[in-house]
């Protein structure tokens, strides 16, 4: 038997966890692009370096985003991945699929591309991994005719994403799926035609467990919450007492210590509760979010590039969110206008607020300062006042 041409990658076919190398080989059995990809990857494993050149600008008619250009730096060795572009396909919100839809996607991708995908990319899109420049438009046409559209890339609104929400979760305080789909449809132009200083991400979690990591990685984070009291079913609380230690696991771990358990009844001092979800997570049958539901809006979250990672900051502690979501959309547009007008190239919203100040941002987007926005008031005395706050000089 001939020696394998990919001894390093072959090693990763072993082991219990599903192997991406098996998938690469499966695609390589049918497709010359996938065949060259696996050999180029083997070379990377040998050289310990990537073999992709900087992307070029490629796309489909009418769009400035959704396609990422990619070229091999060794086309002499791997001519079939000389051009190997990615297409980002906007996923159905919540990543729900019927198999006939998935099969259509597979057929289109076998016709036009490498047969390799990411289900899904980090932003949320279904990623079609690798096709040639001359296939981009025809692949897009087939996708569009089958009911798919591309997601965002570059200095555009990136594909918004949402947690599973009321489709399956009893903790959903907002309809994260409907809101996400509504915003996606409203802002198609911003997604497909990059017009911003840099990327802009919107992520929506229907409760503070934040299953889509909205606070950590989106410029505009929507977190479902409530304002009134936690709903308590004392009978079910008592039932949980046989499976968990309510004092130790629930009351003692409450960050505000707002609960008392006397062995029969759970008393919650709701005015002290910060709605962190811990007690509800532990006793979903007994405790439910309150009835006055809405969301907190935070802005500025991002990964390190350029000036360091940020977690989103509270700018609206509570907002009701019901269709057609005009109040939220109006706020998003005020924020984006200010950002677009003031940001330098490749400056994210959070970095711009850092540079110009939260005070300036709040005034520009017409939001009142409230204590829920800060962990603590400032400690330095370098306080700015608006000119209108000062008495005019009297002569």
Give the residue with the Cβ less far from another protein, 84 or 338.
84
Give the residue with the Cβ less far from another protein, 10 or 363.
10
Give the residue with the Cβ less far from another protein, 191 or 365.
191
Whole-number Å distance between alpha carbons of 228 and 279: 16
Whole-number Å distance between alpha carbons of 179 and 194: 22
In the list 303, 369, 370, 374, the residue contacting another protein (rule: CB under 8 A) is 303
Question: Residue 151 corresponds to which tokens in the numbers above?
Answer: 């997601």
In the list 65, 80, 93, 336, the residue contacting another protein (rule: CB under 8 A) is 93
In the list 33, 39, 59, 90, the residue contacting another protein (rule: CB under 8 A) is 90
Whole-number Å distance between alpha carbons of 54 and 51: 10
Cis peptide before 306 (omega within 30 of 0): yes
Stretch that binds another protein, among 260-268, 316-324, 340-348, 378-386 (CB under 8 A): 340-348
Applying CB under 8 A, does 166 fall inside the site for another protein? yes
Stretch that binds another protein, among 37-45, 334-342, 362-370, 381-389 (CB under 8 A): 37-45
Question: Residue 378 corresponds to which tokens in the numbers above?
Answer: 């400032």
Residue 198 CB coordination number (10 Å): 22
Instruction: Restricting to residues 41-80, name those near another protein by CB under 8 A.
Output: 41, 44-45, 47-55, 61-63, 70
Stretch that binds another protein, among 167-175, 322-330, 364-372, 383-391 (CB under 8 A): 167-175
Size of residue set near another protein by CB under 8 A? 128
In the list 65, 80, 117, 131, the residue contacting another protein (rule: CB under 8 A) is 117
In the list 67, 157, 202, 215, the residue contacting another protein (rule: CB under 8 A) is 215
The residue to which tokens 């990964």 are assigned? 303
**Contacts within 8 Å (CB) and 24+ apart, 107-114:** 108/139, 108/142, 108/143, 108/146, 109/139, 110/30, 110/31, 111/139, 111/142, 112/138, 112/139, 112/142, 113/33, 113/87, 113/139, 114/27, 114/31, 114/33, 114/34, 114/37, 114/84
Q: 149 exposed, middle or buried (CB, 10 Å; 0-12, 13-18, 19+)?
A: middle
To another protein, the closest distance from the beta carbon of 387 in angstroms equals 30
Instruction: Restricting to residues 319-338, name those near another protein by CB under 8 A.
Output: none
Applying CB under 8 A, does 179 fall inside the site for another protein? no
To another protein, the closest distance from the beta carbon of 251 in angstroms equals 12
Instruction: Restricting to residues 349-378, name those near another protein by CB under 8 A.
Output: none
Whole-number Å distance between alpha carbons of 207 and 174: 8
To another protein, the closest distance from the beta carbon of 76 in angstroms equals 18
Residue 98 CB coordination number (10 Å): 9
Of residues 298, 335, 295, 299, the one with CA closest to residue 319:
295
The residue to which tokens 């950590």 are assigned? 216
Give the residue with the Cβ less far from another protein, 19 or 342.
19
Instruction: Restricting to residues 220-239, name those near another protein by CB under 8 A.
Output: 223
């Amino acid at each position: 038997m001939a020696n394998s041409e990919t001894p390093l990658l072959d090693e990763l076919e072993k082991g219990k966890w599903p192997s991406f190398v098996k998938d690469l080989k499966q695609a390589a059995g049918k497709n010359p692009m996938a065949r060259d990809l696996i050999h180029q990857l083997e070379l990377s494993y040998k050289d310990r370096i990537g073999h992709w050149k900087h992307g070029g600008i490629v796309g489909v008619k009418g769009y400035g985003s959704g396609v990422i250009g990619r070229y091999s730096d060794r086309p002499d060795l791997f001519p079939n991945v000389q051009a190997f572009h990615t297409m980002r396909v906007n996923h159905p919100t919540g990543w729900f699929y019927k198999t006939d839809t998935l099969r259509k996607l597979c057929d289109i991708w076998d016709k036009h591309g490498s047969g390799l995908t990411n289900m899904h990319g980090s932003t949320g899109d279904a990623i079609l991994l690798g096709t040639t420049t001359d296939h981009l438009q025809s692949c897009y046409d087939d996708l569009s005719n089958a009911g798919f559209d591309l997601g965002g890339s570059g200095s555009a609104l990136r594909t918004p994403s949402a947690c599973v929400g009321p489709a399956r979760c009893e903790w959903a305080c907002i309809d994260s799926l409907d809101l996400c789909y509504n915003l996606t449809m409203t802002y198609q132009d911003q997604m497909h035609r990059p017009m911003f200083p840099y990327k802009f991400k919107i992520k929506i979690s229907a409760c503070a467990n934040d299953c889509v990591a909205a606070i950590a990685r989106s410029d505009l984070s929507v977190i479902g919450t409530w304002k009134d009291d936690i709903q308590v079913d004392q009978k079910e609380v008592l039932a949980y007492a046989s499976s968990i230690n309510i004092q130790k696991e629930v009351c003692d771990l409450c960050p505000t210590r707002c609960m008392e358990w006397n062995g029969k009844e759970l008393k919650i001092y709701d005015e002290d509760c910060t709605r962190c979800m811990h007690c509800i997570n532990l006793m979903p049958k007994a405790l439910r979010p309150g009835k006055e539901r809405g969301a907190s809006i935070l802005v500025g979250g991002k990964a390190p590039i350029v000036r360091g990672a940020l977690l989103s900051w509270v700018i609206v502690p509570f907002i009701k969110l019901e269709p057609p979501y005009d109040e939220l959309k109006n706020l998003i547009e005020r924020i984006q206008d200010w950002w677009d007008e003031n940001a330098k190239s490749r400056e994210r919203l959070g970095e711009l607020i850092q540079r110009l100040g939260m005070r300036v941002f709040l005034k520009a987007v017409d939001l009142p300062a409230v204590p829920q926005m800060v962990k603590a008031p400032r400690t330095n005395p370098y306080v700015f006042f608006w000119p209108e706050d000062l008495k005019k000089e009297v002569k």
